């Protein structure tokens, strides 16, 4: 962890938090802040001793306090104690319950951690897309509460840029890792756009309904439902009604007559025998004039004869197949995560360099002002001796003194910039 000493005006970045790796759900849920209380919590954080700017990120997997502290406060271990006290007072959780799970990052490491969090490298499912939205939400709340100004503003903007860069330059989030989203991905590989596609649900089940909802989100416009119990089919169909899609409960007896209307069939019955055999596939495809059909078989024992996959135009995936694709995608994400970590490292370096050159600015300005004052004073002192000079000659003297001052200052300014850079990288 970096222990650099910034200039007095800079402030110190401290990040304190718990996440799914360090704390069990029992602890995390006690510290979770509901969205409607986030602004209040942020304002309370801002009133803690030494806190100049602050932001709270609270998701189901993490609670993190990002603060910019006064140097005098932050130089002592007091800062951590103060933040811990805030957690204790705000959530009424004893410090000894939190402390073992708490991590702390300062300066450079805090920047790195923030970049990693926003880029979903620190998430439970690496590459999941929600976290960036949650970080943006936390930032918006903090900004509206007046808890974010120059330093955190610059840091957060950089964080969003880095997260976006990682999304576009690596494939960390491109492959699906849940069963439902893998099913949607495969459907898109077959049909391209899912707009206007028809989904048939055979049987009921949470996972099949979830997959159907994913397909609707991607544009599927029609849901057919069938079940051995007609009333159950009607109930499921009515559940989908609110999603502005065409829904229809079809009698189980009419299944083989109606199934070819569907582009995607999701089966999850508890039937001991197969419902769809190879010949059914051939029959459906013939009636569909070879337009492809995608069978997602979530049932165990299986509802669809795997030999149906041999029929040209029929694609059959059972639960194991979907899980295998999900596992392979997860492995891909891990490989991409390594590339993303490199980007984070480079971006942290760049950010720190930019910060360091900004640190030197006040000292440089002060030195320049002092030199200018001296120059002006010397000119005033020599005014009587220069009284006889023409306007042109006066301009020449003015230019000469300016040039001399600049040349004398140049080595000092270079040394100052260099020493700031060295001091901060120590």
Q: Which residues are annotated as a binding site?
A: 59-62, 123, 128-130, 134, 203-208
Q: How far is the CB of 349 from other proteins (least distance, A)?
A: 21
317 binding other proteins? (CB under 8 A): yes
> What's the min distance (Å) between Cβ of 257 and other proteins?
20
Interface with other proteins (CB under 8 A), residue total: 28
Burial of 299 (0-12, 13-18, 19+ CB in 10 A): buried
The answer to whether 321 contacts other proteins (rule: CB under 8 A) is: yes
- Residues belonging to the binding site for NADP(+) are 203-208
Q: Is 14 in the site for other proteins (CB under 8 A)?
A: no
Q: Write the CA distances from 280 to 128, 180, 258, 277, integer angstroms.
A: 38, 25, 12, 5
Which of these ranges, 150-158, 163-171, 235-243, 375-383, lies near other proteins under the rule CB under 8 A?
Answer: 163-171
Element (H, E) at 339: helix 319-359
Choosing from 44, 120, 159, 329, the residue that interacts with other proteins (CB under 8 A) is 329
CB 225 within 8 A of CB 251: no
Phi-psi region of 124 (alpha: psi -120 to 50; beta: other; left: phi over 0): alpha
CA–CA separation, 236 vs 377, rounded Å? 88
Q: Tokens 């439970």 appear where?
A: 124
Report the binding-site residues for substrate. Answer: 59-62, 123, 128-130, 134
Residues 6+ apart with CB under 8 A from 33: 41, 56, 58, 63
Looking only at the bridges linking them, the beta strands covering 62-69 and 12-19 are antiparallel
The CB-of-171 to other proteins minimum distance in angstroms stands at: 7
* Per CB under 8 A, 189 contacts other proteins: yes
* Residues designated catalytic: 60
The structure tokens listed for 273 are 């025998």
User: Does residue 324 interact with other proteins by CB under 8 A?
Assistant: yes
The residue whose two tokens read 């001296």 is 374
Site for other proteins in 272-301 (CB under 8 A): 288-292
What's the closest the beta carbon of residue 425 comes to other proteins, in angstroms?
31
Distance CA(275)–CA(84), nearest Å, equals: 60
Q: Is residue 185 a contact partner of residue 154, using CB atoms and an 8 Å limit?
A: no
Figure out which of the listed residues 7, 140, 161, 171 binds other proteins, where binding follows CB under 8 A.
171
Report in angstroms how near the CB of residue 192 gets to other proteins at its nearest.
4
- Interface with other proteins (CB under 8 A): 168-169, 171, 174-175, 186, 188-193, 288-292, 309, 312-313, 315, 317, 321, 324-325, 328-329, 332
């Amino acid at each position: 962890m970096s222990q650099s000493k910034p200039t007095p005006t800079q402030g110190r970045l401290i990040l304190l938090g718990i996440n799914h790796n360090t704390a069990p759900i029992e602890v995390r849920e006690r510290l979770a802040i509901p969205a409607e209380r986030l602004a209040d919590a942020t304002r309370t954080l801002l009133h803690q001793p030494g806190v100049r700017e602050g932001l709270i990120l609270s998701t189901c997997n993490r609670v993190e306090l990002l603060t910019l502290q006064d140097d005098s406060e932050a130089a002592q271990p007091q800062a951590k104690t103060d933040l811990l006290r805030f957690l204790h007072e705000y959530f009424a959780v004893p410090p000894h319950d939190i402390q073992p799970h708490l991590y702390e990052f300062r300066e450079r490491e805090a920047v790195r951690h923030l970049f990693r969090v926003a880029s979903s490298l620190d998430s439970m499912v690496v590459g999941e897309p929600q976290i960036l939205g949650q970080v943006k939400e936390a930032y918006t709340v903090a900004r509206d509460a007046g808890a974010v100004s120059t330093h955190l503003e610059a840091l957060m903007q950089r964080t969003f840029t880095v997260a976006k860069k990682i999304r576009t330059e690596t494939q960390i989030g491109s492959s699906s890792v849940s069963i439902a989203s893998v099913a949607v991905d495969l459907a898109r590989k077959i049909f391209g756009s899912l707009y206007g596609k028809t989904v048939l649900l055979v049987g009921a089940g949470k996972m099949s309904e979830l997959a159907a909802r994913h397909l609707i989100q991607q544009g599927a416009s029609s849901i057919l439902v069938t079940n051995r119990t007609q009333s159950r089919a009607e109930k499921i169909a009515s559940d989908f009604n609110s999603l502005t899609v065409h829904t229809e409960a079809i009698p189980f007896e009419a299944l083989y007559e109606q199934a070819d209307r569907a582009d995607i069939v999701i089966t999850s019955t508890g039937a001991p025998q197969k419902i769809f055999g190879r010949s059914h596939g051939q029959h459906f495809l013939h009636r569909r004039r070879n337009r492809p059909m995608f069978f997602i078989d979530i049932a165990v024992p299986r509802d669809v004869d795997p030999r149906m996959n041999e029929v040209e135009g029929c694609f059959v995936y059972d639960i194991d197949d979907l899980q295998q694709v999900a596992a392979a995608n997860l492995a891909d994400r891990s490989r991409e995560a390594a590339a993303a970590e490199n980007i984070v490292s480079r971006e942290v370096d760049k950010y720190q360099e930019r910060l360091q050159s900004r640190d030197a600015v006040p000292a440089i300005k002060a030195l320049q002002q002092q030199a200018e004052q001296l120059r002006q004073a010397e000119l005033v002192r020599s005014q009587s001796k220069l009284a006889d000079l023409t306007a042109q000659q006066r301009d020449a003297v003015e230019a000469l003194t300016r040039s001399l001052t600049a040349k004398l200052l140049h080595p000092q300014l270079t040394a100052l910039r260099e020493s700031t850079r060295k001091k901060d990288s120590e």
